[in-house]
């Protein structure tokens, strides 16, 4: 099989994307899928701000407002932020460790399609007019009282998408454990790889509780179980514990990869090695560990008692220490560097103060007595948007600009990128800074409107104007993507000029087998080391040119996920529609047939011939 690009029809291209197991293509699929849901969630956010623009507004009803805030939160966390980060992990991490693919290419594809079908399942609820409306946390007493199938869409959709995420987590862990290039010791791994590693470990241990929680919720709503119903001996707090045992690690799953992206950006554009590399690694692992110890700080007002509250309060504040270590290391990486203020660097520079503000309000909320005052007010809304937008979304936007040339082979326009940044940055602070005060002034979160004369009017107007600015920023970015894709100016291996890690030493985008010869890694920032010693290719090969083993594409992941999707509908309408049970059975049989086919049919992969690789190398004039 030759890797020379050929003109192909639309059908062949579509088939290629539906069956691909190439980590770079799956990364792009995640980016597109997550990007789509990011826009959907953004539109929902705009409706929220429009509704809250004036007091006593009746743009949307209270019921629809509940649906919109629920879907905004759920979409942004599960269907936008996490998939886009997983997209970067897919596209970049194997390149950073000198691997040719991930450990389980088939599972990688399955993970994507499960996320995709889960996301579609969740959002199809809009067309049924039965939308999840119990908040993104779906607390049991609200979820039990919710009529229609809204919460069922939530439980089943997230179950499917969450399964995909779990597969992704295991896949990345094994990839990093088993498939690092010779010389790539753990303490030579780029920070983004490290944060991928820790975030994946957190996915592995945080998602099973979510799986259980969602099953309990489904059983309770659909099969008459009684886990959460106090009149039947149940306990509604069980859901809160299970959800937050998942939910708190989840926010670190969201932030750690962003930390990794920023670490890469600071080193590239300060043109220095990362300050305190080993402390950074240690801090990442520590944050991952402590992330599991603090879930009850979401439940201070539940009444767990002063002892529990005190313990979780102290544990929460302890997380500020490794995070502080990271902040200072980034500052000292910039310090004395030869700084280039590119678009990714702008995001990274803006991230530090923004995230610190979110961290400080986090410590405030972690103080249990103060939390009693601030609980369920707009102060909380302001806090988590400062960390999730100021950390994760800034990281995603920075990563999009940084890695776009590596993923697509063409640069995003720098001027438009900076316009995006300034609109979004100002819009963000305008929207959410004032919400701290709205919280102090007593405005509760999740209310669909408010009375006039409480002093909240102008603050809400300011907040809504800020949201508009953010929307303009994102619109400019979409325009940027379209324009540069049409121009399609091809770029070389290292378009930023200062790449230090392996992904910048190969083509943009890389050939499907990534490395013609597996690289030999000689230290941290190995490409930088090679360049300093006069090896301009940036890579010393660890093996002669030889046949390369690659995995086969497969359509089974798509079909398997589709089976789950169909079964989900059947399960939901099982009792009330005559076709419900049949559809459930068809979906499950479909799913198990796909699994059996995977199991029974040997999939041995294929070899890329040495001659073809040599031809590629000659054509590119690449590595010697």
Partner 1 sequence: MDLNKKFTPETWPDHPEKATLEAKNKFVGFWLFLGGETILFATLFATYLALKNKGPSGFKFSTQELFELPLVFVMTLLLLTSSLTSVYAMYHLKNYNFKKMQLWLVITAFLGLGFLALEVYEFVHYIKLGFTFDNSAFSSAFYTLVGTHGFHVAIGLVWLTLLIFRNSKRGLNLYNAPKYYTFSLYWHFIDVVWVFIFTVVYLMGVIG
What are the residues binding partner 1 (CB under 8 A)?
A: 103-104, 166, 170-171, 173-174, 177-179, 204-205, 207-209, 211-213, 215-216, 219-220, 223-227, 229, 231-235, 238, 241-242, 245, 596, 599-600, 602, 604
Nearer to partner 1, 465 or 559 (CB): 559
Phi/psi region, residue 544 (left: phi>0; alpha: psi -120 to 50; beta: rest), is beta
Nearer to partner 1, 70 or 175 (CB): 175
Q: How far is the CB of 575 from partner 1 (least distance, A)?
A: 13
CA-to-CA separations, 129 to 138, 141, 145, 222, in angstroms, rounded: 18, 22, 17, 19
Q: How far is the CB of 558 from partner 1 (least distance, A)?
A: 22
Contact 539, 519 (CB under 8 A): yes
Q: How far is the CB of 156 from partner 1 (least distance, A)?
A: 17
For helices 237-270 and 394-408, give the axis angle rounded to 10 degrees. 60
Nearer to partner 1, 187 or 595 (CB): 595
Q: How far is the CB of 545 from partner 1 (least distance, A)?
A: 19
What's phi and psi for 396, nearest 5 deg? -65, -45
Q: How far is the CB of 212 from partner 1 (least distance, A)?
A: 4
Nearer to partner 1, 185 or 226 (CB): 226
Token pair of 494 as six digits: 């290292």
Nearer to partner 1, 238 or 332 (CB): 238
Q: How far is the CB of 573 from partner 1 (least distance, A)?
A: 20
CA-to-CA separations, 270 to 9, 470, 502, in angstroms, rounded: 44, 27, 18
- What is the DSSP annotation of 252-314? HHHHHHHHHHHHHHHHHHHTSPPTTHHHHHHHHHHHHHHTTS-GGGG-GGG---HHHHHHHHH
Nearer to partner 1, 224 or 578 (CB): 224
Contact 549, 603 (CB under 8 A): no
Of 303, 288, 393, the C-alpha closest to 76 is: 393
For residue 574, what are the contacts with CB-CB under 8 A and spacing of at least 6? 222, 580, 581, 584
Q: How far is the CB of 302 from partner 1 (least distance, A)?
A: 14
For residue 283, what are the contacts with CB-CB under 8 A and spacing of at least 6? 322, 323, 325, 326, 329
How large is the greatest C-alpha to C-alpha distance in the chain, in angstroms? Answer: 78
Contact 542, 518 (CB under 8 A): yes
Nearer to partner 1, 179 or 311 (CB): 179
Contact 170, 233 (CB under 8 A): no
Token pair of 374 as six digits: 């601030």
Nearer to partner 1, 227 or 590 (CB): 227
Q: How far is the CB of 237 from partner 1 (least distance, A)?
A: 9
Q: How far is the CB of 149 from partner 1 (least distance, A)?
A: 19
Question: Dihedral sign, CA of 453, 454, 457, 459?
Answer: positive
Nearer to partner 1, 118 or 395 (CB): 118
* Other Cβ atoms closer than 10 A to 306: 10
Angle at 12 between CA 7 and CA 16, to 5 degrees: 105
Nearer to partner 1, 40 or 107 (CB): 107
Q: How far is the CB of 384 from partner 1 (least distance, A)?
A: 24
């Amino acid at each position: 099989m030759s890797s020379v690009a050929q003109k192909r029809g639309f059908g062949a291209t579509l088939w290629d994307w539906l069956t691909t197991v190439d980590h770079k293509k799956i990364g792009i699929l995640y980016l597109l899928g997550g990007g789509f849901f990011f826009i959907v969630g953004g539109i929902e956010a705009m409706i929220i701000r429009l509704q809250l623009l004036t007091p006593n507004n009746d743009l949307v009803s209270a019921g629809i407002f509940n649906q919109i805030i629920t879907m905004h939160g759920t979409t942004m966390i599960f269907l936008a932020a996490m998939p886009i980060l997983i997209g970067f992990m897919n596209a970049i991490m194997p390149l950073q460790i000198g691997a040719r693919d991930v450990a389980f290419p088939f599972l990688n594809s399955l993970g994507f399609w499960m996320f995709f079908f889960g996301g579609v399942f969740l959002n199809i609820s809009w067309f049924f007019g039965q939308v999840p409306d119990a908040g993104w946390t779906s607390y049991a007493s609200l979820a039990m009282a919710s009529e229609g199938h809204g919460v069922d869409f939530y439980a089943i959709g997230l179950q499917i998408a969450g399964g995909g995420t779990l597969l992704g987590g295991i896949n990345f862990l094994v990839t990093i454990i088993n498939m690092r290039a010779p010389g790539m010791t753990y303490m030579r791994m780029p920070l983004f790889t490290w944060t991928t590693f820790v975030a994946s470990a957190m996915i592995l241990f945080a998602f099973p509780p979510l799986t259980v929680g969602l099953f309990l919720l489904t059983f309770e709503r659909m099969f008459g179980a009684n886990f959460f119903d106090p009149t039947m001996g149940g306990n509604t707090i069980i859901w809160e514990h299970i959800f937050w045992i998942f939910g708190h690690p989840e926010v670190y799953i969201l932030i750690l990869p962003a930390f990794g992206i920023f670490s890469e950006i600071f080193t590239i554009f300060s043109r220095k090695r990362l300050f305190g590399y080993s402390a950074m690694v240690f801090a990442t692992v520590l944050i991952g560990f402590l992330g599991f110890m603090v879930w009850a700080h979401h439940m201070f007002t539940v009444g767990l008692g002063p002892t529990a509250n005190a313990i979780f309060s102290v544990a929460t504040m302890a997380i500020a220490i490794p995070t502080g270590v990271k902040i200072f290391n980034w500052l000292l990486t910039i310090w004395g560097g030869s700084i280039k203020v590119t678009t990714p660097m702008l995001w990274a520079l803006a991230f530090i103060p923004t995230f610190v503000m979110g961290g400080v309000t986090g410590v405030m909320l972690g103080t249990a007595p103060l939390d009693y005052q601030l609980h369920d007010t707009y102060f909380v809304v302001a806090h988590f948007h400062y960390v999730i937008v100021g950390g994760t979304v800034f990281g995603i936007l920075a990563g999009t600009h940084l890695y776009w040339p590596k993923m697509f082979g063409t640069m995003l326009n720098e001027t438009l990128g900076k316009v995006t940044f300034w609109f979004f940055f100002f819009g963000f602070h305008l929207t959410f800074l004032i919400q701290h005060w709205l919280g102090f002034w007593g405005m509760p979160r999740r209310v669909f409107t408010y009375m006039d004369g409480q002093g909240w009017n102008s603050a809400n107007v300011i907040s809504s104007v800020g949201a508009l600015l953010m929307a303009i920023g994102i619109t400019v970015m979409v325009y940027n993507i379209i324009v540069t894709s049409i121009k399609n100016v091809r770029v070389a291996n290292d378009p930023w000029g200062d790449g230090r890690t392996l992904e910048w030493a190969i083509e943009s985008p890389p050939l499907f087998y990534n490395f013609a010869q597996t690289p030999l890694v000689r230290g941290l920032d190995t490409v930088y080391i090679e360049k300093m010693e006069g090896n301009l290719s940036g890579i010393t090969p660890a093996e002669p040119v030889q046949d390369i083993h690659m995995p086969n594409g497969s359509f089974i992941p798509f079909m398997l996920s589709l089976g789950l999707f169909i079964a989900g509908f059947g399960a939901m309408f099982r009792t009330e529609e005559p076709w419900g049970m049949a559809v459930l059975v068809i979906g499950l049989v479909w799913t198990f047939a796909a699994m059996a086919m995977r199991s029974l049919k040997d999939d041995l992969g294929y070899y890329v011939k040495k001659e073809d690789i040599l031809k590629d190398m000659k054509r590119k004039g690449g590595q010697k």
